Chains A and B, each alone.
Chain A
Amino acid sequence: MAAPLLEVHDLVAGYGGEPVLRDVSFNLGPGQLLLVIGPNGAGKSTLLRTLIGLHRATSGKVLLNGRRVDSLSAHHRARAGMAWIPETRGIVGQLTVEDNLDLARFGHAWKPEMRPASLERFPLLARALHRPAGTLSGGEQQMLAIARALETGSQLLMIDEPSLGLAPKIVEEVMDEFVKLRAEGRSILLVEQRAAQVQHVADAVLLIRAGRVEPVRDRNEARLSELSFEVYAGAEAPG
């Protein structure tokens, strides 16, 4: 088996002395998509924020390509090859689409040739290049975020709730993008509420409940739907 791209060991993180993530451990290999599900407040967003370095972990190790990154600040992790797309799409609304794409220039492995490739892949962006990014629709913003993440050349993409506020058809388009990315060899850590709709693209599923991780073995759609309903309806954490 190929060496994992991302390794997380016993990650503990919290706010003001109160741990939100407890002993989170998992691996993510190249070209894999790991789906993270769990109730609100379970720590999914915190996990991504801690991995990208915007939130200080209390303890634990994070390795990217075998190299420890947990002591690096956020911008170093970004340059090391981690891309983060938060719930709010992570674009700067007041800057133009072009400026937003240009943010990738600070990244891991940007080359000028990547821009035409992006615009070809997402023609809607080419049309809106000089508009403020905030005027794009939700789906278009998501595409912009993905385009920029791609231009950074990052191998690892951490995406938080991409389907938020998007119509199901658009969500399908977005998920198709992820499938393409995975086929291209990138790894995706995907936090997503609509587990049932996206589970078919996942190589593995991680359930986070009350800050703890439970790998989900049985991934057939019915079971996953049931599980989603269970956790979102507020079933108690397993003993």
Chain B
Amino acid sequence: MNAYWGFVAMVAGINAIAAWSLAIAIRSGQLSIGHAAFAGLAGYTAGILDIRGVPLLLCFLAAAAVSAAMGLIFSVVALRLQGLLLAVASLAFGQAVMIVISSRPELGGATGLTGVPLNVTLPEILAVLAVLLAADWLLVRRSAFNLRLHLLENDPLQVTLTGRSWQAARVISFTLSTGVVGIAGAFEVFTFGIVQPSDLSFDRSLNLVVFAAVGGVYSGIGPMLGAGLLTAVPQLLSFTAADRTILYSFLLLLVMLVRPYGLVPRRPVRVLDMLLGKSWQREYKIYNPSDVPGARRTRAENRGTPKTTVDGGTER
């Protein structure tokens, strides 16, 4: 019993890493419905290298490098696309990758790559999660990176004001996102001992979207929470795969209708704020995510960030 739940915990952890990475992509305005493909590619890479005797750490690094490289390529090509069209393109991309892989007999064809030793345990996954959370809390929150993410989503041209072209910012964000999801993919192949083309399917990518969207993409812990909950609950209720799809889809729809930014709010853990005695208000004044245009709030702080026009005047 314990071993089973330990296993479920590992799967939840892997999903959490993947969901966190997808959240980064979503926050930069690039919704990817093919993220599982990047993870799967990394999984294949890690599995193949490990079978050849490459040290485990290198396998992870190589896996992350491969998925990051694919992500780089995709986001460069997709620079021409915005929002929805990019999502559609990512869907096509994921399917294409899956199909190409399943057609390669040297990768095991439809049955996939088998016989990979089970090289990881739960603590390692949790360690990575902790690192991600810490990175998110310490670096992402306060940094220009976070600012650029917010601007990318809402007003990409303004990214140039932060000293980087919006194209570069987009590509960097997506590459980072796919690099991290590659780590999740490597964990996965070492947890299951096998990686198959079906691991790259649209279904799996959809699951990641659900985890991230339901949990809330605007925080580090949100997607992880979403992944954890939504991995554990169907196991508890012994759902079939079809039932799980219905549950996930229904939750996705519900969250979009009721609470589109997800379960975890965008300014989480005020408690820690109080404990640390820091005031985030000042730092958030210029780029508080709750000032997202179109948000239906009428709080005083949401009066609309003044936008600068080209000639220096300000307009509503």
Residue of B nearest to A40 (CB): B315
| CB-defined A-B contacts under 8 Å, sample of 16 | A15-B304, A15-B316, A16-B298, A16-B302, A16-B303, A16-B304, A17-B298, A17-B300, A17-B302, A17-B303, A18-B303, A18-B304, A18-B316, A20-B316, A41-B315, A41-B316
Chain B neighbourhood of A41, CB < 8 A: 315-316
- Smallest distance from the beta carbon of A43 to chain B beta carbons, Å? 11
Task: Mark A residues whose CB is within 8 Å of B.
Answer: 15-18, 20, 41
Task: Mark B residues whose CB is within 8 Å of A.
Answer: 298, 300, 302-304, 315-316
Q: Closest 8 A-B residue pairs measured CB to CB?
A: A17-B298, A16-B304, A18-B303, A17-B303, A16-B303, A15-B316, A16-B302, A18-B304
* CA–CA, A127 and B316, complex, Å: 42
Chain B neighbourhood of A18, CB < 8 A: 303-304, 316
Of B300, B302, B303, B316, most A-chain CB atoms within 10 Å: B316
- Smallest distance from the beta carbon of A164 to chain B beta carbons, Å? 18
* CA–CA, A41 and B316, complex, Å: 9
- Smallest distance from the beta carbon of B220 to chain A beta carbons, Å? 29
* CA–CA, A130 and B298, complex, Å: 48
* CA–CA, A16 and B307, complex, Å: 14
- Smallest distance from the beta carbon of A181 to chain B beta carbons, Å? 33
Chain A neighbourhood of B304, CB < 8 A: 15-16, 18
Chain A neighbourhood of B315, CB < 8 A: 41
* CA–CA, A17 and B298, complex, Å: 6
Chain A neighbourhood of B300, CB < 8 A: 17
- Smallest distance from the beta carbon of B154 to chain A beta carbons, Å? 14
Residue of B nearest to A15 (CB): B316
Chain B neighbourhood of A20, CB < 8 A: 316
* CA–CA, A15 and B304, complex, Å: 9
Chain A neighbourhood of B298, CB < 8 A: 16-17
- Smallest distance from the beta carbon of B159 to chain A beta carbons, Å? 23
- Smallest distance from the beta carbon of A115 to chain B beta carbons, Å? 39
- Smallest distance from the beta carbon of B199 to chain A beta carbons, Å? 45
Residue of A nearest to B295 (CB): A16
- Smallest distance from the beta carbon of B293 to chain A beta carbons, Å? 8
Residue of A nearest to B316 (CB): A15
* CA–CA, A15 and B298, complex, Å: 10
* CA–CA, A20 and B315, complex, Å: 13
Given contacts A18-B303, A18-B304, A20-B316, 12 further A-B contacts (CB under 8 A): A15-B304, A15-B316, A16-B298, A16-B302, A16-B303, A16-B304, A17-B298, A17-B300, A17-B303, A18-B316, A41-B315, A41-B316
Chain B neighbourhood of A17, CB < 8 A: 298, 300, 302-303
* CA–CA, A91 and B316, complex, Å: 26
* CA–CA, A41 and B315, complex, Å: 9
Chain A neighbourhood of B316, CB < 8 A: 15, 18, 20, 41
Chain A neighbourhood of B302, CB < 8 A: 16-17
* CA–CA, A18 and B316, complex, Å: 10
Chain B neighbourhood of A15, CB < 8 A: 304, 316
- Smallest distance from the beta carbon of B271 to chain A beta carbons, Å? 29
- Smallest distance from the beta carbon of A21 to chain B beta carbons, Å? 13
* CA–CA, A41 and B300, complex, Å: 21
Chain B neighbourhood of A16, CB < 8 A: 298, 302-304
Residue of B nearest to A18 (CB): B303
Of A16, A17, A41, most B-chain CB atoms within 10 Å: A16
* CA–CA, A18 and B315, complex, Å: 13
Residue of B nearest to A17 (CB): B298
- Smallest distance from the beta carbon of B71 to chain A beta carbons, Å? 36
* CA–CA, A84 and B302, complex, Å: 31
* CA–CA, A41 and B313, complex, Å: 12
* CA–CA, A84 and B169, complex, Å: 42
* CA–CA, A215 and B303, complex, Å: 30
Chain A neighbourhood of B303, CB < 8 A: 16-18
* CA–CA, A17 and B303, complex, Å: 6
Residue of A nearest to B299 (CB): A17
* CA–CA, A16 and B290, complex, Å: 13
- Smallest distance from the beta carbon of A113 to chain B beta carbons, Å? 45
Residue of A nearest to B291 (CB): A16
* CA–CA, A1 and B182, complex, Å: 78
* CA–CA, A20 and B316, complex, Å: 10
- Smallest distance from the beta carbon of A93 to chain B beta carbons, Å? 22
* CA–CA, A78 and B46, complex, Å: 64
Residue of B nearest to A46 (CB): B316
* CA–CA, A41 and B303, complex, Å: 17
- Smallest distance from the beta carbon of A58 to chain B beta carbons, Å? 11
* CA–CA, A61 and B302, complex, Å: 27
- Smallest distance from the beta carbon of A2 to chain B beta carbons, Å? 38
* CA–CA, A16 and B304, complex, Å: 7
